Amino acid sequence: MGLARRNVEEIRPYVPGKPVEEVRRELGLSGTIIKLASNENPLGASPLAVKAMRKALKSNNFYPEDGAYYLTRALAQKHGVGEDQILIANGSVEVMYYITTAFANPGESVAMNDQAFILYRIVTKVADARRIAPPLKNYTHDLSALCLAVEPDTKVVFIANPNNPTGTMNTQQEADEFMAGVPPNVIVVWDEAYREYIDRPDYPDTMKYLREGRNIIILRTFSKIYGLAGLRVGYAIAKPEIIAALRKVRVPFNVNTMGQVGCLAALDDAEHIRRSKEVNAEGREFLYKVLSKMGLFYVPSVANFVYLDVGRDSLPVFQAMQREGVIIRPIKEYDFPNSFRVSVGTPRQNRKLIRALKKVLKG
């Protein structure tokens, strides 16, 4: 028997992709290597954020402002809520840990669709809670099945909208029907990490549930469209009493100074957001067109990545793609043994991806 708690021993850890330079070293590669594995913004960071962080570098001998006061105030104004309804964290995934820690007792249940974002199952295990996970339907959250799966002891429901790793979206009507059916005492987490990429009019307005006084938590991040994944800043929006509980389990000084300063500046960078959405939309359409011609199965996405099934074991394909200087993400841990989550890159990166994929699949 190991030293760790039983539930910790049972966790299958989250496995991130390797850094570009490590892939270069391991495989002895030269030339350009592109990483399309982690849904990062290929245009890079918001220029306004970079400028603000450069100015703040000299203050890094001081601890960061513990409550992220200025960023909290800006986000409260942006979303039309009180400052006591915002919690900022070291990425939205940190909030997920806080949620199960604060609300799920050992043995109680936490619900999610299977093959949703893998961190949901990890934070459930960390809390020693019990996972309920009905399957996806057409690669999308099956909110009807999820609602029916809720049990009397269910404390939290996680919904990724759009879903990672499939890129699919639930509509306003589906969300409304779910919220009408789920017990009001259950905390529903709407994980909206890719929200800023979406223009569809039927995307759910989850803020209305908050205005109605429902027990929901909305998660957002600066890691995606803002291009600030390296800063690790995300946040939650919820009722004051929910945020108060999350703050009790929050790690002190969890958001660094550069993160606070950079993200505050990025909020005003409308041009960077516009250009990022434009490049992403054009890139997705390019990939759809070429993948269709190649006869490969993909799932149309509303996010900045595409689910791709190559019809064979993904591991050899992954390894061969790396030798071609292209890093994409196999998703075997989601029980998709033949599939990849492929980030949408710049036009040049997308063309390199397709050239490599054609070569690898042909060989």
Residue-by-residue pLDDT tens, the chain, 363 positions: 578 888 888 888 877 777 888 888 888 888 889 999 999 999 999 999 999 999 999 999 999 999 899 999 999 999 999 999 999 999 999 999 999 999 999 999 999 999 999 999 999 999 999 999 999 999 999 999 999 999 999 999 999 999 999 999 999 999 999 999 999 999 999 999 999 999 999 999 999 999 999 999 999 999 999 999 999 999 999 999 999 999 999 999 999 999 999 999 999 999 999 999 999 999 999 999 999 999 999 999 999 999 999 999 999 999 999 999 999 999 999 999 999 999 999 999 999 999 999 999 997
Decide if 34 is inside a domain.
yes
Can you tell me the distance from the alpha carbon of 288 to that of 298, in angstroms, rounded to the nearest whole number? 8
In a domain, 292, yes or no: yes
Shared domain check, 202 and 306? no
Q: How would you label 181-213 residue by residue, b for 16+ Cβ within 10 Å and e otherwise?
A: ebeeebbbbbbbbbbbbbeeeebbebeebbeee
In this predicted structure, what is the pLDDT of residue 16? Answer: 76
Please report the pLDDT score of residue 27 as a whole number: 83
Residues 134 and 59 in one domain: yes
Residues 54 and 162 grouped into a single domain: yes
Domain count of the chain? 2
Of 266, 296, 323, the position where a domain reaches its end is: 266
Residues 91 and 220 in one domain: yes
User: CB of 99 within 8 A of CB of 87?
Assistant: no
Q: What is the pLDDT of residue 11?
A: 83
- Residue 11's φ and ψ, nearest 5 degrees, are -75, 135
Instruction: Decide if 303 is inside a domain.
Output: yes
Quick one: tokens of 110?
């936490």
Q: Does residue 311 sit in the same domain as residue 210?
A: no
Domain termination site, one of 235, 266, 297: 266
CATH of the domain at 225: 3.40.640.10
- The answer to whether residue 231 sits within a structural domain is yes
Cα(165)–Cα(139) distance, integer angstroms: 9
The enclosing domain of 330 has a CATH number of 3.90.1150.10
pLDDT score of 321: 96
Q: According to the model, what pLDDT value does residue 18 have?
A: 73
33 by Cβ neighbours in 10 Å (0-12 / 13-18 / 19+) ranks as: middle
Evaluate whether residue 188 is within a structural domain: yes
pTM of the model: 0.95
Domain, as residue range, for 230: 47-266
- Estimate to the nearest angstrom the gap between the alpha carbon of 239 and the chain centroid: 22
Indicate the DSSP class of residue 140: B
Structure tokens at 336: 């998709």
Q: Note whether 256 and 309 are same-domain residues.
A: no
Please check whether residue 250 lies inside any domain of the structure. Answer: yes
**Are 185 and 63 members of one domain?**
yes
Q: Is residue 3 part of a domain?
A: no
Classify residue 89: in a domain, yes or no.
Answer: yes
What is the pLDDT at residue 1? 58
Which SS3 state, helix, strand or coil, does residue 89 take? strand
Are 154 and 217 found together in one domain?
A: yes
